[in-house]
Amino acid sequence: LLASEWLAAELDAIGIPAPSTGRMQDFGGGMRNVLGEIPGREPGEAIVIGAHLDHIGPGNGIYNGADDNASGTGAILEIAKAFVASGKQPRRRVVFVWFDGEERGLLGSAAFVKNIPFADETVVMINLDMVGMLKRDTLKIYGATTGGAVLDGWLEAAKEGSGLLLEKSEIVNSNSDHANFY
C-alpha cells in the first residue's frame, strides 16, 4: 500500500490526472492498481502502458526488487513526465497503470481488464516488466511482431537516434500482465 500511495503522490506532482473512476482501483485482499491518464484528442482508442508495482513473489526464483519491478515502475514514471513536458496532447488516450498482485498470479491486470475504467478500445498494451534485465545496447521487445507494420514502424521511429539495437520477438509469454489483455 505504501508503494501505491507514493505513486499516486508522484502522479499528482507531475500533473497526470486520474481517470474519472479515480486514481486507485481496489480489487480485494488489500491490493489495488494505480491509474493515471492523458486524454487523447480523438475519442475511441486508448494505449495502455503498464508495469507491476509488487515485487514480493512466492520465493521461487523471482528477481525481487530493482529489476522486478522497480525498473518498470520507474520507466512508466519517466514516460509520463515526458508526456507532460512535451506539452502535447496525444491523438489517443494514454493510460498509465501500475498493477498490483502480478507476482500472485496477474491479479491486478485481471481486475483491470474486467473493469476497464474507460470506454475507448485498447489498441495497444505496452507492458514494462524487468526493464533492467537487458543488455546495455539492446532492447528486447516481446510480441513486437503482433502489431503488424504499424507497430514495427513505431518501434523503428522510436529507436532512431537512441543507439539501441532492437531485438524483436514474436513470442508473447503468458507470465506477465500483458497476458490478460490477450
pLDDT along the chain (182 residues), means of 10: 89 94 93 95 94 66 56 90 95 94 87 91 85 70 75 85 84 79 82
Q: Which residues contact 26 (CB under 8 A, 6 or more apart)?
A: 32
Q: How far apart are CA 29 and CA 161, in angstroms?
A: 45
What pLDDT is recorded for position 68? 60
> What is residue 66's predicted lDDT score, i.e. its pLDDT?
54
Task: Return the pLDDT at 25.
Answer: 96
Closest by CA to 149, choosing from 126, 168, 173, 176, is: 168
State the catalytic residues. Answer: 102
Q: What is the pLDDT of residue 129?
A: 78
The half-sphere exposure of 40 on its side-chain side, counting CA atoms within 13 A, is 17
**How do residues 68-83 score in pLDDT, each as one tens digit?**
667 788 889 999 999 9
Say which DSSP state 66 is in.
T
Peptide bond just before 180 cis, omega within 30 deg:
no
Cβ distance 40 to 33 under 8 Å?
A: no
pLDDT of residue 143: 77
State residue 64's pLDDT score: 52
Confidence (pLDDT) at 89: 94
pLDDT of the residue at 59: 53
